[in-house]
Structures are given as C-alpha cells and as structure tokens.
Chain A
Amino acid sequence: MDWLGPEEWQAVALSLRVAFWATLAGLPLGVFVAYALARWEFPGKQILNGLVHLPLILPPVVTGYLLLMTFGTRGPVGGFLQDIGIVFAFHWPGAALAAGVMAFPLMVRAMRLSIEAVDPKLEQAAATLGASRMWVFATVTLPMILPGVITGAILAFAKAMGEFGATITFVSNIPGQTQTLPSAIYAFLQVPGGEGPALRLVLISVVVAMAALLLSEVLARRVAKRVGGA
C-alpha cells in the first residue's frame, strides 16, 4: 500500500505491537484481580478496587506522570529495573505499560461481571467431585467466563491502540520508539500539510476500533453458545 508513508507504517506497526503486549501481559493479572474482586473478601478490597479503576477517572496526563515518577529511571521501581537491564521510560515497552495500565480497568470490569455470573454452587459441585481449587478454576470457572475474558481482552486491545495522554507523558513521542498511532496523528497535525497523513491514520484508527468491537461481539456470542448460554 503506497498511500501510507514509512513513518506512518511505523506508527501503525508500533501501535499494534504495543497494544498486543499490553493486552497479553495484562490478561493473567486481569483474570486474577477480577476473580479476587468477584469472589474473595479480604482487607483492602475496596482500595484494590479503587486502584484498578483509578486510570479510568484520573486525567491520563496524571497517570502518565505517576508512571514516570515510579518507572522512570530515577523512580524507585524504574531505578531497580534499570539495574537489571529493563528500561521503560522513552522506550516502546513503556508505551505498552502505559497502554496496559489505562486499559486494565476495562478488562477487569468485563471479566468481573462474567465471574459474578458463575454460580459458586457449580464450583462447589466440582470440588465434591475431587477437583482442587486450581482444577475447579481450570475446568469450570475459566471455560464459563471465557466470553467475558475475550470481551475484556478485545476492549483492552482497542483501548491500548488509542491510548494517548498517559503514553505521551510517560514515554514522549519518539518516532519508531514510542510514536504510536495517536501520537503520530498529533504530530502530523502540528506541522503544515500534515492533514493528509493524519486523516489516513484517523481512518485506520476507526477501522481497528470497529473491527475490535465487532470481533469481540462475534467471538463472545460464539463462545457463549458453546458453553451453554450461561
């Protein structure tokens, strides 16, 4: 396709990579946190719930700044990670981290709803049949919440594709390293004559977002049918 320049392609490819890793890394943690919030009673549950949802409510710039303070090379966690060779700030994994944090609440909400819909009596029944907690989760809970997990993952992917505020604050806007789709659109709009490339990237954003939504609907419906409409 000639209508996208190399710089624009770079932005699209980077965005896909960032969103992919943000979703994949967030999935196990998302399922765990959603399960804990849906099923367990523990001290600090409301605090955990608040922390998970904070990125949804805070200005993205604030989230980005907090990430920079924590995971920047001078931050407490970032400094330690730098010593063992992992650098988030101003590198693409940082963009994935920012996107993952911003997408996390959406993912957890979808999963938590589907976990709450699973009757704990079925999990009890599985336990009486000899399944340990891990096996109950693997053979009963997880298959039954699969539609919610898929919906959550795809929503998170779409959100990660479009994350802007926290990303640009945390890892800046470096072409080829941290310039994701929205950052590229923003950059194009800052220079004269950039409307053309910007519009093309906007179209791509719209298509990706729509495709993600449709895909999640179709997949969730198909899986829901397979697991018995539960």
Chain B
Amino acid sequence: MLSVSLNHHLEDFDLDVRFDAPRGLTVLFGGSGSGKTTVINAVAGLLRPDQGRVSVNGQVLCDTKAGQWLPPHRRRLGYVFQEGRLFPHLSVRQNLRFGQWFAPKNAPREDMARVVDMLGIGHLLNRRPNGLSGGEKQRVAIGRALLASPRLILADEPLAALDDARKAEILPYFERLRDNSDIPILYVSHSAGEVARLATTLVALDGGKVVRQGPAVEVLGDPMFTPSGVRAVGAVLEAQVAAHHDDGLSELDAKGARLFLPNVGLPVGAPLRVRIAAQDVMLSLQKPEGISALNILQGRISQVRAGDGPGAIVSLDTDAGRVLARVTRRSVAAMGLSEGLNVYAVVKTVSIAPQDVGG
C-alpha cells in the first residue's frame, strides 16, 4: 500500500493531495495542469515537496516533518516514463538489466526470461533502442521497470505518445501486471478509456486537489463524477466472455445479463471490463422491439442529474451493474424520468470502442 500526502507550491496553483493506493493499479486521473505529474515525481523523489509524507508498505520514502528523505536511487522504483527514456548507448538486453545491477542482492528478483516472454521482446534483445518502434520501446521500458525489483511501479502517461494501434498493443501488459503482481502501481493518465480498463482505484485530481477517490468501478458509475469532456463520462461493467459467434461477435455474460460486442479477442471464460460511454446509451420506457441494437439492459433509475447545458446524466442500476446514460433534459421531462422508474438501456454493439474493452 502506498500512502501519499503532499503540499507543494507550484507556479499556477497549490498542490494539496492526500490519498492511499492499495494493491492493484491506482490511476491518478486529471487534465493537464491538474498536478498529477508533480505528484508522481514527488513519489519518485525527482521533486522535493514543500511538505509531505510518502510511504510504501510502511517504509517511509519522504517525511518532511521528520526530516526524512530517500533519494530516488534508494526508493526501489520501477518508473515507466511517457517517452520511454531507454538508454541509447546500451542494447535492449543491457537496458533491461540496468536496474538489476543496482538492486539489493536479497531483493525478490523477477525472472528475465519470463518478463521478456510476457512482453514479447525476445527478438529485440540485441538491438539498440534507436531502431525500435514506439510500441516496442515502451514494452522494453515496462520490462526494465519490472526487472529492477521494484517495491512500487510508477507510470506517467505511458501510452500518451503512441497511436491507437500501439496503445491497444501495450494496454494488455499493464492489465497483466495489475492482475499478476502484488506490487502497487501508480499510473498517471488523462484518458477515460485507460482508467476504465486499468484502474482498480481511481484518484481524480483537479487544480491540485483530489476531487474524488475510491474503487474505480464505483467512481466511474457515479453520475456526479464528470471528468473533462462529455465523451469521457461512462460507467464500467465487469463481465466474462461467454461465447464467440460465427458472425464476428463475442457474447459476454455480465452477472447474468447478455452483451454482444465485436470480437474481443479473449478466450471464453476470460474476465473483462467494458466501458460504456454515457452518450452511446439510449433509454426506452418499454422493452424495445424491432430495433437493430443488440444490447438491451433493464434497470431502475437511481439518479437523474441535470447538467448546466441541455444534457442530463441518468444513472441506471441494471443486473449487469451501473450504466450511465446521457440524454437531453427535454427527454427527461417528456419521458418523466425520475428515481425508481424502470427503463431499458439500449447500447449499439458497434459503438463500444475496442480500446474501451479489456481484461
């Protein structure tokens, strides 16, 4: 468990942040200028906070009151930077081993062969970073961080410099890391899709303050939580792959409810999360028939929240979990949408973006 409490004066605003990151992957979420990079750099020891305390599993990394300060090289971190920051004068193999040269001899050691295999970088070992693609560089950077025997893994927007195809290539590695390792991961991101796929815990920052924190599925399903941009609003459903059909669709089982998605590329039985953007959800008072959308979920309205503009966010408790729908205030009035009402949520199969689906 990582505990962070920081006060730091920045040029534009004052940072005042306090949060805990339990086992799993904690996303520090916020727009540019929210202070998230400052927080992660303070945890890494690359920045000295004016005041604060940072500890990992009881070990204090920094405590300004007690005058304690561990320099970055003694914090046992695995830091994955946005730009990879591989050493150009070393081969991929030497880059991967770099952290092991300095790790304490008794530190639990990741098996090089296993990490190389997991990241699919075996064929790159003898090459230099300069010749690698962006996605390959980032996979090597992840491997380098893992092999340093870290107590804590940090990632600062590790996908931001990659195109969508490369992002899709890297995301599964963070999912595996989250699911197969006991090391807490602190992950900075401004992408709602990444949050939905990766986050166990969500810490939302705005203007240097924590505006929300808690289990990711809970926070994302809260209609009061509206991160930057309407497109970013959307709840997450947890499901399992039930079957693959000949017509290219995958059938998912979300706590009994059936969902159909374009092929998700995971084996039957695999758990996964599906983010459903609120603006892709339609609401109907009767069970819709004769329409092309395949995904229809019945549920009870738990909250209606009118926004400042013409829109409103309706929060719906379905069998599959919480779903958020963005509709107009006019529809809310015309349909008489209010708490406790039973409605049907309609989601077009093809509107679920592949980057919003993951294990």
A interface, CB within 8 angstroms of B: 119, 121-122, 124-133, 135-136, 139-140, 143-144, 226-230
Is the pair B85, A125 in contact by a Cβ cutoff of 8 Å?
Answer: yes
- B74, B79, B98, B130: the one contacting A139 at CB < 8 Å is B98
Extra inter-chain contacts (19) besides given A126-B87, A128-B154, A130-B74, CB under 8 Å: A121-B83, A121-B85, A122-B88, A124-B85, A125-B87, A128-B72, A128-B73, A128-B75, A129-B78, A129-B99, A130-B102, A130-B148, A132-B71, A133-B73, A136-B73, A139-B98, A144-B89, A227-B89, A229-B88
Is B81 interfacial (CB 8 A cutoff)?
yes
A130 touches B89 (CB 8 A): no
Measured CA separation A126–B148 after assembly (Å): 11
B44 at the interface (CB under 8 A from A): yes
B178 within 8 A of A: no
| A130 vs B78: C-alpha distance when bound (angstroms) | 9
Report yes or no: A122 in contact with B102, Cβ–Cβ below 8 A. no
Q: Which residue of B73, B75, B130, B145 is within 8 Å of A228 (Cβ)? A: B130
Q: Do residues A132 and B73 form an inter-chain contact, with CB atoms below 8 A?
A: yes
Contact with B88, one of A126, A130, A132, A230 (Cβ below 8 angstroms): A230
Residues of chain A within 8 A of B98, CB atoms compared: 126, 129, 131, 139
Q: Check B73 against A143 for contact (C-beta < 8 Å).
A: no
Interface set, chain B 284-310, CB cutoff 8 A to A: none
Given known pairs A129-B102, A130-B73, the reply for A122 and B85 (CB within 8 Å) is: yes
**Which residues of chain B are near A229, meaning CB under 8 Å?**
88, 130
Inside 8 A of A230's CB, which chain B residues have their CB? Answer: 88-89
State whether A131 touches B89 (Cβ < 8 A). no
Contacts of A226 on B, CB cut-off 8 Å?
A: 89
Shortest Cβ distance from A125 into chain B, in angstroms? Answer: 4
Residue of B with least CB distance to A124: B46
Instruction: Type the 1/0 row for B62-99, where 1 means its CB is closer than 8 Å to any CB of A.
Output: 00000000011111111101010101110000000011
- In the complex, which of the residues A121, A122, A127, A140 contacts B72, with contact meaning CB atoms closer than 8 Å? A127
B125 within 8 A of A: no
B45 contacts across to A, CB distance below 8 A = 127-128
Contacts of A139 in B (CB 8 A): 98, 101
B88–A131 touching, CB < 8 Å:
no
Q: Which residue of chain A has its CB nearest to the CB of B44?
A: A128
Q: Which residues of B contact A128 (CB under 8 A)?
A: 44-46, 72-73, 75, 77-79, 154
Closest to B79 in A: A128
A126 to B75: give the CA distance in the assembly, Å.
12
Partner of B81, one of A125, A127, A131, A132: A125
Kindly list chain B residues whose C-beta atoms are within 8 Å of the C-beta of A132. Answer: 71, 73, 102
- Asked if B129 lies at the interface with its beta carbon under 8 angstroms from chain A, I say yes
Assess whether B88 is in contact with A125, with CB atoms less than 8 Å apart. Answer: no
Q: How far apart sit A229 and B130, CA to CA, in the bound complex (Å)?
A: 9
Could you give 28 example pairs across A and B, Cβ below 8 Å? Answer: A121-B83, A124-B72, A125-B79, A125-B85, A125-B87, A127-B71, A127-B72, A127-B73, A128-B45, A128-B73, A128-B75, A128-B77, A128-B79, A128-B154, A129-B144, A129-B148, A130-B148, A131-B73, A132-B71, A132-B102, A133-B73, A135-B73, A136-B73, A140-B89, A227-B88, A228-B129, A228-B130, A230-B89
A6 and B335 alpha carbons, distance in the complex (Å): 111
Most buried by B among A119, A121, A130: A130
Q: Is B1 an interface residue (CB 8 A)?
A: no
Is B128 in contact with chain A by the CB < 8 A criterion?
yes
* Cα separation A14 to B83 with both chains bound (whole Å): 52
Does B337 have its Cβ within 8 Å of any Cβ on chain A? no
A136 contact set on B, CB distance < 8 A: 73
- A229-B154 Cα distance, complex, nearest whole Å: 29
Shortest CB-to-CB span from B25 to chain A, Å, is 18
Smallest Cβ-Cβ distance to B81: which chain A residue: A125
